[in-house]
Structure 1
């Protein structure tokens, strides 16, 4: 079935529709990677280097089983939405992602830099994991996490793959601090070129706000996005003792995101992590870092069965998901494809993206002769000799 006005058949088509709908500066802010975009490009290129073992015949059930469990939560396919801050591609923002992931039967991560409070997002999809960066002192971080838990979040993600690199958002324009009259006048040509985007916002009460409610403690107003970001820049990076302290005080599943070295994977487990995400922040941190999928085999070997391992970065097709699972990942997280789907069709566009990946995973399982995502093994893929590029 070909794509229609209300439905698309590839993630690439979701991206094309998002580009047509979003003002240029908004779309470029999603697309950008750090500096020259070397890591962002390698996240995609590395999947193309992995080949599937030749298909084999097998006695398979008529329906393959794509279900799995991540961070104590049952999901219908091994793909969940990665936490992404300030999702201003659609008026519903993170609530739109929650509705789409709920309909897809999967979970989502919610950034502390999100534009919607955790309780509102959890009301749309209770399969919610809350993300913090090391953006404040210990007690403040814990209070934010506890407020998110009270709002319905069931697991905590601590993101470590961000270090304020220079040249952030290669290819994208600057993001305004506030939408005052001067800023609106400057952005007017880009906005008027995409009237559908502006009309959507006006129908929902006005242009996007730039506040981050999940970073406000009780009795405090929600800070502005950039005010919160500047405060974060003054906070020293965490030590492993800090991570262990937060883990000790968080009662629930605990994921450390941004692990690329086997030694760091072992340290994260020693600090109490129940899950690890192999991630380079979508190519938005230190440019020149290898693709996250290149680091996956060595991290899986270091972790063994002591924690769940997830992968984040470069997933665009169901076959990419299957490759990651064959190399030992429990599931993958996706960021840009979710935003493209949200921009292209709101909650139904998000659901559409996950439906595409579901179909692609199922097709790959059928060709590989596997009845379930849990049956995938390393022999189902072929890696070039230099694939890990010194990361093993």
Structure 2
């Protein structure tokens, strides 16, 4: 079935519609990766190196896509990864929460989100709150207490962020506040993208660049860059700090950003319940291999002691199947649902989730498996050098051939 005005049939189509609808600066903030974009591109292209082994007969007539993550049963193995300041649509994280609740899965909410945690939990009671090591320990306790009182089901601690804005294709200008100077500078983009602009104006104004979930008692919510400045001034955490944080949270605890078996083992030691194999979507140390390349070694090291999730590069249902076959319990998605949100709001997010769900189902048919819980490496063709990754030049050339390399400014 071909895409229509209100529906699209692939994540790639959602991205094309998002690019058309969004002001250039907003769109480029979504596709951004650090420096050359080597890691950003390898996250996507690595999946193409994994082949699927088809089965012709005796295939299952029904398939079970359900699984559990940290005691939560979800309808299919895809979770919303936390992403900050979702200025692609006025409803932002609340729309994503509603869509993920309707799809029967977990919502990850960034501490840098544009909507308060209370509103998001009301839209999806299975919300996991994400936090960085930011500010004093008393500040951290305040953020955790608010999340608990709001009803957050779990905590995601992100350790791999460096907010690297050095990009060979240029970084979009993002103001700290939407003051008169910023409005004048953005005016040409707003005028040429009237649907995006009007969608916000009808709700009372342009995007609010404050982060309400990082407000401290007696102080207004900081701006994104104000909170970022606090993060920059906070000494980087030790494993002792993370162990302390674990003791302060009495629910499910996920560490996000694991790319090495030794870090996975430390996560087990401090009592984490799950880890996310992730390189922050290529937005941190460029030259890090794709997260899917790091997955097998981490599963081998700790897969029998902790739940392992995979975050990075998921664009279709077959990618999900490949990640599960290599040992992931479920995957987390970021850019894919943001493109859906930009393209068509809450319905666009549901559209993306349906695309992935249907892609998982049809892939299970093709490989002759009845359940996502039955997946193992035997369903894949795995190149001998897959986990060794690519050289930077090879990754760049492969991305260009695939047509997904960052566009020059």
Task: Name the TM-score class by shorter chain.
Answer: over 0.9
Offset at residue 53 of structure 1 (A): 1.8
Offset at residue 171 of structure 1 (A): 3.5
What is the correspondence of 1:123-202 to structure 2 with a 5 Å cutoff?
123-165=122-164, 167=166, 171-202=170-201
Cα distance in structure 2, aligned partners of 1:280 and 1:59: 36
Offset at residue 166 of structure 1 (A): 5.5
For the 8 Å contact 2:290–2:389, the answer to whether it is kept is no
Unmatched 5+ stretches in structure 2: 391-409
Offset at residue 238 of structure 1 (A): 0.7
**What SS does the corresponding residue of 1:173 show, helix, strand or coil?**
coil
1:346 corresponds to? 345
What is the correspondence of 1:195-344 to structure 2 with a 5 Å cutoff?
195-344=194-343
Q: What are the superposed Cα offsets for residues 301-338 of structure 1, whole Å, 9 maximum, x if unpaired?
A: 01132111000000000000000000000000010011
User: How large is the Cα RMSD of the aligned pairs?
Assistant: 1.4
Q: Does 1:10 align with 2:10?
A: yes
Q: Does 1:104 align with 2:114?
A: no
**What SS does the corresponding residue of 2:258 show, helix, strand or coil?**
coil
Cα distance in structure 1, aligned partners of 2:170 and 2:355: 28
Offset at residue 169 of structure 1 (A): 8.8
**What SS does the corresponding residue of 2:388 show, helix, strand or coil?**
coil
For the 8 Å contact 2:81–2:333, the answer to whether it is kept is yes
Offset at residue 146 of structure 1 (A): 1.9
Count of residues in correspondence between the two structures: 390
TM norm structure 2: 0.93
Cα distance in structure 2, aligned partners of 1:93 and 1:304: 34
1:25 corresponds to? 25
**What SS does the corresponding residue of 1:246 show, helix, strand or coil?**
helix
Q: What are the superposed Cα offsets for residues 177-228 of structure 1, whole Å, 9 maximum, x if unpaired?
A: 1111111111110110000001100111111111111111333311111111
For the 8 Å contact 2:36–2:167, the answer to whether it is kept is no
Unmatched 5+ stretches in structure 1: none
Offset at residue 390 of structure 1 (A): 7.3
Cα distance in structure 1, aligned partners of 2:2 and 2:254: 39
Offset at residue 3 of structure 1 (A): 1.0
Taking a change above 3 Å as real, the CA distance of residues 209 and 274 of structure 1, as seen in their structure-2 partners, is: same
Deviates more, 1:181-190 or 1:83-92: 181-190
Q: What are the superposed Cα offsets for residues 147-199 of structure 1, whole Å, 9 maximum, x if unpaired?
A: 01211210000001113436169533121111111111111101100000011
Taking a change above 3 Å as real, the CA distance of residues 339 and 166 of structure 1, as seen in their structure-2 partners, is: closer
Offset at residue 59 of structure 1 (A): 4.8
Q: Does 1:55 align with 2:55?
A: yes
Offset at residue 106 of structure 1 (A): 1.0
2:381 corresponds to? 382
Cα distance in structure 1, aligned partners of 2:163 and 2:3: 40
For the 8 Å contact 2:293–2:389, the answer to whether it is kept is no
Deviates more, 1:195-204 or 1:70-79: 70-79
Cα distance in structure 2, aligned partners of 1:168 and 1:280: 16
